[in-house]
Amino acid sequence: MTTPPRDVAASLEVYVSAATELELQIAVAKLPGLTLTEDLTVSVDGEPVELEEIVADHGSRIHRFQVDSGLVAIDYTASVETPADPIPVSETDRSIYLRPSRYAEADKFFGFVAGQFDMDLSPAALLEQVTAYVESRLSYIPGASDPIDGAADTLLAGAGVCRDYAHLVVALLRALNIPARLVAVYAPGCDPMDFHAVAEAIIDDQWVAVDATRLAPRQSLVRIATGRDAADTAFLDNHRGTINLNYYKVTATVRGDLPTDTGGERISIG
């Protein structure tokens, strides 16, 4: 599989009305093999802000800074010339990513998966079944879900956005004893364009990406942050204080033709 060069960008405007600590996860994950040029600038009322960078698991990068009050402008651009190497599976992955989490509450689905899926199938076959089930069960409707909705809420509602699809896939897979996690990505070809979320599962000792929304080809995805669920991968977070996200815009393109994703190929995100 040849991965074309990709260009991504994000702009955010945040109004802070009471002192807070802001954390961003919008920068491309730094992993071995990656060739990347990037620029991240943050200002408050036009004055530049110095950022603290925290490197988390799987190359995720948190950029943290303090704001007393004012209008925060955030601009990020990056060009990915060559993709990162696939992330290897560790022994801790097989433990951490089987556990229930805030938005992928796998323990609520043990009985459900026993009646819905053939437990004797291989993990690869179950991954296909789960992805197809979530794709057919949900409708992609912006605004249909709340930020606090978990996988169980999504299943009952029958609708949501990309993070809801990914949470349901992850919860079902964990309930089937398949380690799974959520990945926040830039997604060339995604329509509507936005920060995107997909699921990854361990299949034959390899992290394999699946996207039940099928909104973008998996070959084009650019990893931003990786974690148990959206609680670990949010593009903007704050601690104490009061903020309002006034505006944000995301762009992601490939140079050349957009890859075609048939859905049947095993694809790993670098």
Is the same domain home to 46 and 121? no
Q: What's the pLDDT score for residue 269?
A: 93
**Cα distance between residue 254 and residue 113, in whole Å:** 38
Is the same domain home to 33 and 151? no
Residues 163-177: pLDDT tens digits?
999 999 999 999 999
Q: What's the pLDDT score for residue 57?
A: 86
Angle between helices 162-175 and 123-137 (to 10 degrees): 140
Any residues with CB less than 8 A from the CB of 135 and at least 6 apart, and which? 165, 212, 213, 214
**Looking at the predicted structure, is the pLDDT value of residue 25 above 70?**
yes
Is the same domain home to 112 and 152? yes
Q: What's the pLDDT score for residue 1?
A: 53
Is the same domain home to 127 and 213? yes
**Cα distance between residue 243 and residue 221, in whole Å:** 30
Q: How confident is the model at residue 270 (pLDDT cuts 50, 70, 90)?
A: confident
**Cα distance between residue 263 and residue 218, in whole Å:** 9
| Residue 172 structural domain | 93-232
Q: How confident is the model at residue 4 (pLDDT cuts 50, 70, 90)?
A: confident
Residues 80-89: pLDDT tens digits?
999 999 999 9
Residues 147-165: pLDDT tens digits?
899 999 999 999 999 999 9
**Looking at the predicted structure, is the pLDDT value of residue 264 above 90?**
no
Residue 39 belongs to domain with CATH number: 2.60.40.2250
Q: Is residue 269 part of a domain?
A: no
Q: Is residue 104 part of a domain?
A: yes
Percent of the chain with pLDDT over 90: 95
The pTM for the full model equals: 0.96
Is the same domain home to 113 and 193? yes
The DSSP string of 128-140 is HHHHHHHHHH-EE
Report how many domains make up the chain: 2
